[in-house]
Amino acid sequence: MKKDLGLVQAVYPMPVLMVAAYDENEKVNVMNVAWGQICDEDKIILFIGEGKRTWLNIQASKAFTVALADEAHVDVADFFGIASGNRMTDKFERTGYHAVKSDKVHAPIIEEFPVVMECELLEFLHTDYVDGIVGKIVNVKAEEAVLDEKGKVDVQKLHALMFDQFRNGYYATGEKVAQAWNAGAGLMKK
């Protein structure tokens, strides 16, 4: 029997995305975003409230990067979520992390995170119910250490973080339990 829990953000898992952009002075800011998703083959949507430092930087630069946070960098990933770039002017510098300029878009790539999407701003969405940033993914870069023998990202090597909104925890991806578009194929024959 199910028990009523009331209003709970009951989607699990949520990605742990590191969104980075330059400000008008080429200063790097990074934000931890759990409310983001691929929304087309070459598009991503990030639900970031208007006025956040990263939102303002993306508005100014028209570009951003989105990195997948991993278990090895959970402390800094969490810090990027609890520290506000609007109140902490040295937020990125405090981490000791390194940024390089993307060769595809006008945005920083944080070197420590193993997989990054380079994105151009397509539009800001603003309705009565949602604020979002839609970007076109123009390229993906990945460290060789997280690639399989065919050059694809191996999530068992990546150890990407997932956010648990039920108890505010971080978990790492791990064991593969089935092959997509195959596990349910037997039911197609009934």
Boundaries of every domain in the chain: 14-189
Predicted local confidence at residue 45, as pLDDT: 97
Contact 54, 21 (CB under 8 A): yes
Please name the amino acid found at residue 9.
Q
Distance, C-alpha 93 to centroid of its chain? 20
Q: How many CB atoms lie within 10 A of CB 71?
A: 16
Q: Token pair for residue 73?
A: 């960098």
Length of the chain: 190
pLDDT of residue 174: 80
Q: What is the pLDDT of residue 189?
A: 84
Using DSSP, state whether 99 is helix, strand or coil.
strand
- What is the H or E stretch that residue 95 is in? helix 91-95
Q: Which DSSP symbol is given to 54? A: H
- Alpha carbon distance 24, 60 (integer Å): 7
Give this prediction's pTM: 0.94
d(CA 36, CA 48): 9
How far apart, in whole angstroms, are the C-alpha atoms of residue 150 and residue 107?
28
pLDDT in tens, the chain (190 residues): 999 999 988 888 999 999 999 999 999 999 999 999 999 999 999 999 888 899 999 999 999 999 999 999 999 999 999 999 889 999 999 999 999 999 999 999 999 999 999 999 999 999 999 999 999 999 999 999 999 999 999 999 999 999 999 999 999 988 888 889 888 888 888 7
Q: Which CATH number fits domain 14-189: 2.30.110.10, 2.60.120.10, 1.20.140.10, 3.40.50.720?
A: 2.30.110.10
